[in-house]
Amino acid sequence: MIRASTLAEYIETIYVPAKIDLSARTVEQLVVAVRLFDRWRGAPVHLHDLSDELLCRFLRAYLATGKTASTVNGKRRAILCLWRHAFEEGIVELLPRKVPILREPRRMPEAWTLSEVEQLLAAARRLSGKVGEVERRDWWTALILSVYDTSGRIGAIQSTRTLDCNLAERYLIVRADHQKTNEDRLYWLSDQTTTIIAVIYEPRRERLFTWPYGRRHLFYQFRRLVERAGLHADKRGMNLFHKLRRTSLSYCAAYDLELARRQAGHSTARLTQRHYIDPRIARQQSAVDVLPRPHCD
pLDDT tens by residue, 36-51:
999 999 999 999 999 9
- Where do you find CATH 1.10.443.10 in the chain? 114-276
Alpha carbons 126 and 123: distance in angstroms, whole number: 5
Q: Is the pLDDT of residue 147 over 60?
A: yes
CATH fold of the domain at 7-88: DNA polymerase; domain 1 (1.10.150)
Query: How much is the pLDDT for 238?
Result: 65
% of the chain exceeding 90 in pLDDT = 80
Strand stretches in the chain, DSSP E = 130-131, 134-135, 165-166, 171-174, 185-188
Task: For the full predicted model, state whether its pTM sits above 0.95.
Answer: no
CB 30 within 8 A of CB 60: no
Alpha carbons 39 and 37: distance in angstroms, whole number: 6
CATH 1.10.443.10 assigned to domain 114-276? The reply is yes
Res. 4 pLDDT band, cuts 50 70 90: very low
- Where do you find CATH 1.10.150 in the chain? 7-88
Q: Is the pLDDT of residue 155 over 50?
A: yes
For the stretch 219-275, pLDDT in tens is 999 999 999 999 998 766 568 999 999 999 999 999 999 999 999 999 999 999 999
Query: How much is the pLDDT for 160?
Result: 94
DSSP 15: I
For the stretch 201-225, pLDDT in tens is 999 999 999 999 998 899 999 999 9
Q: What's the Cα-to-Cα distance from 138 to each of 10, 133, 269, rounded to whole Å?
A: 45, 11, 34
